[in-house]
Structure 1
Amino acid sequence: MKKHLTMAILLTVAFGCEQPNSSSISYPASEVFHHDWAMNKIWEDGQAEVAHYDAEMIVYGKVRKFDNAYITVKEEFNKDFNVKTDDYQRDDLFSVMKVNKFGRFETENYPYHYLTSLFFKREKPEQLHKMTHTGQEWCGNTFKQFELTASGYEYDYNSYFDGYGDGRMAIEGTDLIWEDQLSYLLRATKFKDGLEFTKQVVDSQINTKTRKPKIYDASFRVSDRDSVWHVELALEQDKVNTYTFNKKYPNLLQEQTTWYGYNLKLNRVSRYQYWR
């Protein structure tokens, strides 16, 4: 179902937020994001944007601090295999933006490794085309893959958990927003102080669980914080995330805080061919 933006008073009733000033405007959902955001020539230079964040996650009831690398780069996919192509003479190629998120941290018992790969067609930053996630620790491996279909997403999974060892399920809705894509998608926002909109948001998949994803009827609010754009995401009344972005293109994520403790603060960023 096509979502429309809510008026500020609806947000006040639903989430207990302060009512924005009278300059806030309700926008059609189609006007929220720049569909040409990833068409900028910066992404044609053959290099990747590699951003390192000082990160925190709560595991076993304790805060774990680690380096979280976010890698953003343009690639060419082929439709036949829906992966990066090796043959650039094919007639079924299309451009995607890849966002890889890698993190490794220690616990008292053993280390964790996470790698999440997200792919978007360049002209559709709001629609996840494909996502894979792997998690490794001493208990075992977890693999998850979400691929866009005509009606939603096909979810394939494999893990060491009883009941979710090996299987697949369908997730309905092609206009879903995934929490794990927000570090990329929100960079393409048509930023404006007081902008508010609603969207169904799928909870983060950066974990070792393969349970059925939870989908929230969520609300977004944008505010101008002098040097950065601030975005508040209310999943539920007591589940609020915040994100801040640089005002200058390419609008890099500066900080992230989540209700469950996955927090980020930009440490450094550079552009280079990390695969060499």
Structure 2
Amino acid sequence: MLKQTIFGILVLAIAASCSQPQRENIDFDAWGKYWFQGKAELSSFELTQYRYGEAREGEAVLIFVTEDFSRKNQVKLDNPNEAGRDKLSVIKMNQTRDFVTGIYPYHMMLSAFTPTKEQSNGVKFTSSVQEWCGQSFSQLNLKSGNSYSGKLFSYFEKEGDQSFSVSGLAEDDIWNLIRINPNQVPTGSVQMLPSLFYQRFTHKALESQEAFVRVQSISENRSQVEVTYSTGSRVLKIDYENEFPHQIMGWEETDTRSDGTQEVTKATRKGLKVVDYWTKNKVEDEFLRRELNLKY
């Protein structure tokens, strides 16, 4: 009996030493009633996307959903009940953008995976861009702290296929941090990795930059996260509701070119549904797209 007690204490001690710090000042009971109900939150947006020096009208969609993730492989678990300590709860954002440049269309998608309860940076970010010239794909995987290993696959000769390492807070993580709780968004001076979408638009090497982050009230019911890069070339503003679940209402990206010209991309919400969309894949379910005011 004594041996069993000692063994149990050792197991608990080892488990405690291996446990990760938890996010603080969040009511996860209330949080879970919304996010662990087995459904996703879908929101559609009217999009004005700048590309090739002109504003393009288009559409964006944000899909937020929680998943069981593999710590080791950083992919969604097929059998989470059998994964043990490899199981990590994450909130996933999929962001899509669709717009047309002249005769040909752009289809873009970005995914961000952020631990829900564990105090950790986002564990994985991916982006893909498809247009008639070709396609590209980039991915960041968290290795430790705020250090990532990255890969880029591109049809451009100068970019080619490459591997790299970067460190910093990912701009694409901010969306999920707002949804977990806005108090999770770090403020002040931050070493930040610009969005993977921004990297694709500019074709610049992905590297951390100094940025200033602030959260400000913009109305009685809404607040805004503002990210301003010290280079003066990029400002991101994300508007969200103050009340839980802190839904995203829109965003604005201002990119300043070398000649001082400002290109402003804007998105304004037009529809919202909470639904298990992965079960709604029949022709008869297409009415749900109309309810979200989706055109593409």
Q: 1:268 is matched with which residue?
A: 271
Task: Give the conservation status (yes or no) of the 8 Å contact 1:142–1:209.
Answer: no
Q: 1:90 aligns with which of 79, 83, 99?
A: 83
Instruction: Tell me, in whole angstroms, the C-alpha distance in 2 between the residues paired with 1:90 and 1:221.
Output: 38
SS of the residue corresponding to residue 183 of structure 2 reads: coil
Identify if the C-alpha distance between structure 1 residues 64 and 33 changes in structure 2 by more than 3 Å, giving closer, same or farther: farther
Give the C-alpha shift of residue 210 in structure 1: 5.5
- Report the structure, 1 or 2, having the larger helix content: 2
Task: Give the conservation status (yes or no) of the 8 Å contact 1:35–1:124.
Answer: no
Q: 2:57 is matched with which residue?
A: 65
Instruction: Tell me, in whole angstroms, the C-alpha distance in 2 between the residues paired with 1:51 and 1:125.
Output: 27
Q: 2:194 aligns with which of 203, 207, 214?
A: 203
Gaps of 5+ in 1: 1-29
1:169-203 CA distances to partner (integer Å, 9 max, x unpaired)?
Answer: 011x3xx2222232222342239xxx952211211
Using the size of structure 1 for normalisation, the TM-score is 0.78
Match status 1:165 vs 2:168: no
Task: Give the conservation status (yes or no) of the 8 Å contact 1:142–1:208.
Answer: no
Instruction: Tell me, in whole angstroms, the C-alpha distance in 1 between the residues paired with 2:24 and 2:195.
Output: 21
Q: How many residues align?
A: 241
1 or 2 for the larger relative contact order (CA 8 Å, sep ≥6)? Answer: 1
Task: Give the conservation status (yes or no) of the 8 Å contact 1:158–1:210.
Answer: no
SS of the residue corresponding to residue 71 of structure 1 reads: strand
1:104-146 CA distances to partner (integer Å, 9 max, x unpaired)?
Answer: 1111131111111110111247611101111111111101010
Gaps of 5+ in 2: 1-20, 256-263, 280-296
Task: Give the conservation status (yes or no) of the 8 Å contact 1:144–1:210.
Answer: no
Instruction: Tell me, in whole angstroms, the C-alpha distance in 1 between the residues paired with 2:48 and 2:235.
Output: 17
Structure 1 window deviating more from structure 2 (82-91 vs 231-240): it is: 231-240
SS of the residue corresponding to residue 173 of structure 2 reads: helix
Q: 1:246 aligns with which of 233, 237, 241?
A: 241
Q: 1:104 is matched with which residue?
A: 98
Letter in 1 for 2:205: K
Using the size of structure 2 for normalisation, the TM-score is 0.73
Task: Give the conservation status (yes or no) of the 8 Å contact 1:101–1:115.
Answer: yes
Q: 2:215 aligns with which of 213, 222, 226?
A: 222
Identical residues among aligned pairs (%)? 25
Give the C-alpha shift of residue 208 in structure 1: 5.6
Identify if the C-alpha distance between structure 1 residues 56 and 267 changes in structure 2 by more than 3 Å, giving closer, same or farther: same
Match status 1:138 vs 2:129: no
Cα-Cα RMSD: 2.7
Task: Give the conservation status (yes or no) of the 8 Å contact 1:33–1:190.
Answer: no
Task: Give the conservation status (yes or no) of the 8 Å contact 2:45–2:267.
Answer: yes
Q: 1:27 is matched with which residue?
A: none
Give the C-alpha shift of residue 80 in structure 1: 4.0
Give the C-alpha shift of residue 64 in structure 1: 1.2
1:213-239 CA distances to partner (integer Å, 9 max, x unpaired)?
Answer: 142211122222322113332213744
SS of the residue corresponding to residue 40 of structure 1 reads: helix
Identify if the C-alpha distance between structure 1 residues 257 and 72 changes in structure 2 by more than 3 Å, giving closer, same or farther: same
